[in-house]
A and B are shown apart, each in its own frame.
Chain A
Amino acid sequence: MSAERTLRGRAVVAGVAETTYYKRGESPDDEFKLALEAITGACRSAGISPQEIDGFASYSNDRSDASRLAAALGIHDLRFANMQWGGGGGGGSGAIGNAVAAIATGMAECVVVFRALAQGQFGRFGQGPRRNTISGEFAHTVPYGLMSPAQMFAMKVTRFMHDHQVQQAALRAISLASYQHAQNNPRAVMYGRPLDEQQYDESRWIVEPFHLYDCCQENDGAAAIILVSAERAQEFDHPGCYLLSAAAGSHHRAGAPVHNAPDYATSAFKTLAPRLFEMAGVGVSEVNVLQSYENFTGGVLMSIVEHGFCTPEECNDFFTLENLTAPRGRVPLNTSGGNLAECYMHGLGLNIEAVRQVWGESSNQVSGADISMVISGPMVTPVSACIFGSEATL
């Protein structure tokens, strides 16, 4: 007997939760406590006991160890403890895919995907090394002043914008869309702090082509999503939100050291996108709402191009505030405020928002959001993406 090799429709989201989102270093709680708060919150959302969890999936080397979590929560039978390789937020949707793979194959019954960050407790991203010497790959970049994520990725975006004559206004539209959506989302760190074109244009450069508002926040908090077998969908109060597909990976030698990937000016989704849509059985034009991880706006732009929402040559027309905002934009983007304006929870907040859109519970609800997509961590490797669908899409 051979079952069809797909994740489509095999698992349903049972519950989601996030902690209060804080500015970096302002969490009163330790990182591990934040993880526990998000996971128990997701259990309340699902209406289950934390002891029903039998699997943990995370990414980016999350420090909240699965065995310690299982002990803290009193779990009797830990069956799945999984870490998606890769730094940055490239693993968010990949971790969801891993969780559903475990459920679909009977390795686990109830898997929580989570991410917790307390940068105040554990030091910041985006800072240069503080030692006197350096060796290995970074010895070939850091002595030239190339050391932060913004600096690593601006080089790719500059080349892409050059090749396709993309204007700064396209990046600006991505930033403004996140801020506009955040004004309706009380969870957002930038709630009550709107951004307009003039503020964007006058903000300082971090590294060209990124202004301050092209760069993600740094935050403390945690987020969690619980997935179970689709057969159990009726046990939960929420409308069905099913995983239709997930894909992770990157193209030929994407990780070649010292900026030597053969296809360089890319967000690394060209090989994933066809797999993602094929498994989901949907086309790009059927996607109702999109969350795309903003480490930097330029990565969002390339990732949207590489999934086929527009061609590189159409960027200047496609990336407008009108096209990107709910409820009526062509592709409402980052409808919670995203990493720029809701919270930088390493992107897992984007997956939660995608679920809320299918549930009809977003603060920037798109009507009839049956197909809800997430792009995780453009420009790193591996990257990942996933598509959720309502019951009507099964």
Chain B
Amino acid sequence: MSAYLQDGLPSPVANNLDAPFWKGLQDNRLLIQRCANCSNWQWGPEWICHHCHSFELDFEETKASGVIYSYERVWHPVHPALASQGPYLIVLVALPAAGAVRLVGNLLGDPRQDVEIGGRVEGVFEHHLDAESNYSLLQWQNIPLE
């Protein structure tokens, strides 16, 4: 698939805290930080568990399946790479299987669609592989009602 947003935004680069997450996306896996001591899910990643203060934190795979917690439709591009993008949708997705931690992504499909807070979405791994960059993002698409 092609990328949701036009080319030219800054590429994410892993740091010491979030490297397993970015590596996971490249392998089509969603890895979220989890405390080895108290099993608390935590996102964004931090050096310490905010619940039990353990420094023993792992990354655990979870299902790329979530619920739209909030959203926004952007009309005014603040970055020149998006100057001819037109409106686009950003969603904040809660992961019920991972302590309801939230991820930011784009909602695939018509950017003018009605978006339902509470609606269920599934992840779509968006791979960026070219001469200048090598990373993956996690996007979201609506799960049709049965």
Contact = CB atoms under 8 A, between A and B. Distances in A.
B84 interface: no
A206 B76 contact: yes
A144 B15 contact: no
Contacts of A257: 43-46
B102 A258 contact: yes
Contacts of B13: 133-135, 139
B44 A145 contact: no
A253 B72 CA distance: 23
Nearest to A134: B10
A34 B107 CA distance: 45
Interface string A80-110: 0000000000000000000000000000000
A137 B13 CA distance: 11
Given A143-B10, A144-B90, A145-B5, A207 B72 contact: yes
A44 B107 CA distance: 56
Contacts of B15: 135-136, 139
B43 A132 contact: no
A48 interface: no
Given A145-B5, A146-B90, A133 B74 contact: no
Interface in A251-302: 253, 256-260, 264-265
Contacts of B10: 129, 131-134, 142-143
A259 B102 contact: yes
B132 to A, nearest CB: 8
A145 B85 CA distance: 10
Contacts of A328: none
Given A133-B12, A145-B82, A256 B76 contact: no
A128 interface: yes
A156 interface: yes
A42 to B, nearest CB: 35
B74 A135 contact: no
B105 to A, nearest CB: 6
Given A151-B90, A207-B74, A260 B44 contact: yes
A391 B43 CA distance: 49
Interface residues of B, number: 41
A293 to B, nearest CB: 21
B70 A265 contact: yes
Contacts of A256: 44, 50
Interface string B32-46: 000000000001111
Given A135-B12, A139-B13, A155-B90, A207 B73 contact: yes
Nearest to B90: A146
Contact of A143 (B46, B71, B88, B137): B137
Interface string B1-32: 00001000111111101100010000000000
Nearest to A206: B76
A258 B78 contact: no
B71 A144 contact: no
A142 B9 contact: yes
Interface residues of A, number: 42
A145 B117 contact: no
A379 B124 CA distance: 30
A162 to B, nearest CB: 5
Given A129-B10, A162-B117, A258-B104, A139 B18 contact: yes
B92 interface: yes
Nearest to B19: A135
B106 interface: yes
A147 B43 contact: no
Nearest to A124: B78
A256 B104 CA distance: 13
Contacts of B85: 145
B104 A154 contact: no
B12 A159 contact: no
A205 interface: yes
Interface string A34-46: 0000000000000
Interface of B: 5, 9-15, 17-18, 22, 43-46, 50, 69-76, 78-79, 82, 85, 88, 90, 92, 101-106, 117, 132, 135, 137
Ranked nearest first, the 10 interchain pairs of A and B with the lowest CB-CB distance are A257-B44, A128-B79, A139-B12, A159-B70, A134-B10, A205-B75, A258-B44, A135-B13, A154-B72, A148-B78
Interface of A: 126-129, 131-137, 139-148, 150-151, 154-156, 158-159, 162, 204-208, 253, 256-260, 264-265
20 contacts: A132-B11, A133-B10, A133-B11, A133-B12, A134-B12, A140-B12, A141-B104, A143-B5, A143-B137, A144-B137, A145-B5, A145-B9, A147-B78, A148-B78, A151-B72, A151-B74, A151-B90, A155-B72, A207-B74, A208-B72
